[in-house]
Structure formats: C-alpha cells, structure tokens
Amino acid sequence: MRKQIAAANWKMNCTFQEGEKLMDNILEANISLSDHQLAIFAVPFPYLLMTRSAVELEKNYFVAAQNCHHQKSGAYTGEISAGMLHSMNINYCVVGHSERREYNAETNTMLAEKVNQCFENFIIPIFCCGEPLNIREAGTQNDYVAAQLKESLFHLPADTIKNIIIAYEPIWAIGTGKTASTAQAQEIHQYLRSVIAGQYGEEIANEIPILYGGSVKANNAKELFSCADVDGGLVGGASLIAAEFIEIIKALK
C-alpha cells in the first residue's frame, strides 16, 4: 500500500512555547501509526530541532522544513540550504508551496533546482502543485498542473522520483468561499497520477503518495482520504489545533 500521510504545515504561526504545547498535546493522544502511515510536521525553521526532539522516539513521526534554497550555499543572507537541513537530520522539506510561488516568485525551473538540492542531501521533497481560480474557471487546470510536474520533476530518474511526495493544492478553493468537492479532489489526483504514469510507468506512479491540500479538516478528512488516489493531506489551519489534527491523523487509510 502507498504511504498515507498527514502532513502539518504550521506556516508562520505559533511562538516557540505555543509550538511546544501543540506538539505535546498531539503526541499525548498516543496515536499508533501503521507501517504505511506517516505524520509529518512542517514547522518554522527556529522550531525544527524542538520538533525533531519531540518526535524522535515516535514511530513514523517526522519533521519537515517549509522551504530550502535552490543553491547549495553562498551569499544568500537569511536563506537555508538543504545541506543545513540534512546536517540537522531533517528528512523532509516542502517545496513549491503556492504561497511561495505567489509571494516569492518561485518558478518551476527554480523548484526543479530545489528538488535536486533535496535529493542530493537525502531529503524527501513534499512537492506542491495546483491551480489558481482563473485557471480552474478557464477549465485548463489539467494542462497547468501537468506543466508544473513536467518542468520541475520530470528530469529526475525513475529510481529517484519514486521517493517523492506530491501535494495538490486547489488554490482556487482556499480563502475564496469556493469549495472543492471530494469528486474534484479524486479527479485531479487521478489525473496527476496518470501524468506521472505517462512518463515513468504505472508501477512508479502507483508508489508516489499524492496529498490533498485544500482546507482539510477533522470533519472532511475521512471522506477525502477514502478516495482511491488521495493519500492523505497537507494541512494548514487545522494542524494548529491539536484536537483537529489528531482526528486527521486518525482518518488516514
């Protein structure tokens, strides 16, 4: 069975003390994960070591960075390299989140370099893709997300890309008042998997987890995760509420 993943994205939230308490409250639930289930916490850079320490004795609980730089090193004040993350034993990194694409002008070409940096440093990228509202309304979302995959990932050899995690974000359904249905989530996830299969074959496509990143909450997680091609969620706001994220973890297939 493919990995089933509940990934928390704290974004730029929580003081250090609030982050500690949030982790304590989640871990106090003592959720036992199966071999194919993962809980990953993408926390702000200052909290990486705290969170890693909190989960290091927990089975299948991991920490992710929310970003890394696309260069190996250099005069990039304020940036964090994948090599730095590796030196801290951080195993995952979010790459290409829609907010970074929009606010930091990250291109598909730049994200390909970030993906390379991650893999070169033994870090698994959680690669984000997804379309904004104008693309969805134009009905061209398939071409849009396929280009994101092709331009950022399809340079990778098969034995590398099979280790990636993909997160689909329906940007048009986040903060717009519009809602993505379960059927829409399954449809686009199935399409993403077909695009990967077209390049690498069905066997590899069926190994890659594809997470849903469109306002996953405790009350819709089980229905979303029941879809054949939805392998968990990349969770924003609900991951900041212990009771919500606990139920989301429990909803994994």
Catalytic residues: 97, 169
The terminus-to-terminus CA distance of the chain in angstroms comes to 10
What DSSP string describes the chain? ---EEEEEE--S---HHHHHHHHHHHHTT-PPPPTTEEEEEE--GGGHHHHHHHHTTSTTEEEEES---SSSSSS-TT---HHHHHHTT--EEEES-HHHHHHS---HHHHHHHHHHHHHTT-EEEEEE---HHHHHHT-HHHHHHHHHHHHHTTS-HHHHTT-EEEE--GGGSSSS----HHHHHHHHHHHHHHHHHHH-HHHHTTS-EEE-S---TTTHHHHHTSTT--EEEESGGGGSHHHHHHHHHT--
Closest CA to 190 of 208, 171, 172: 208
Cβ neighbours of residue 218 closer than 8 Å, sequence gap 6 or more:
238, 243, 244, 247, 248, 251
Give the phi and the psi of residue 114 in degrees, each rounded to 5: -65, -45
Phi, psi of 166 (to 5 degrees): -110, 140
